[in-house]
Structure 1
Amino acid sequence: MKKVKLKKWDVVEHLKTEEDMVLYLEACLEDGDPALITAALGDIARARGMSQVAREAGLSRESLYKALSGEGNPEFATVMKVVKALGLRLRAEQVST
């Protein structure tokens, strides 16, 4: 039997364009899970370069990794700093019922 090599899947490898990043974040926002949204911001920050995003957000790279990890629970102000540093904007829209 032939051995199969498995590689851990990392979404960052698929976030090549600005459009990819926006669509990914939009899908996570639709889900509504705060942990998923912060993890997605972390993925996008890793795709862009965590050091640069941390610098633009006015945070240390270590604190940014911690805040956007699966175990992190960042303050909303931190999330907004990251969103701004990523050059993104969060929008509200009315949900039709």
Structure 2
Amino acid sequence: MTGKETFSRYDTADYLKTEEDIAAYLEACVEDGDPALIAAALGDIARARNAA
């Protein structure tokens, strides 16, 4: 096998393009009920809106 595989960094914020995407993502995180997940989701949303 020759060559090296490369992978790009995954960032959820890259996939939150519309208000509907953001609402669905946040709703799913809230349904999970984990406060740490909700906090991380809010950070993802802020990055998606370039409000870091």
Shorter-chain TM-score: what band?
A: 0.7 to 0.9
Which has the larger Rg?
1
| Shift of residue 8, structure 1, vs aligned partner | 1.4
Residue identity over aligned pairs, in percent, reads 61
**Gapped regions of structure 1 (runs ≥ 5):** 52-97
Q: TM-score, normalised by structure 1?
A: 0.49
RMSD: 1.2
Highest RCO, 1 vs 2 (Cα 8 Å, sep ≥ 6) = 2
Structure 2 CA distance for aligned equivalents of residues 17 and 32 of structure 1: 23
TM-score (norm 2): 0.86
Please state if 1:27 is matched with 2:28. yes
Aligned length: 51
- Which runs of no fewer than 5 residues in structure 2 stay unpaired? none
* Structure 2 Cα separation of the partners of residues 49 and 13 of structure 1: 11
Shift of 1:22: 0.5
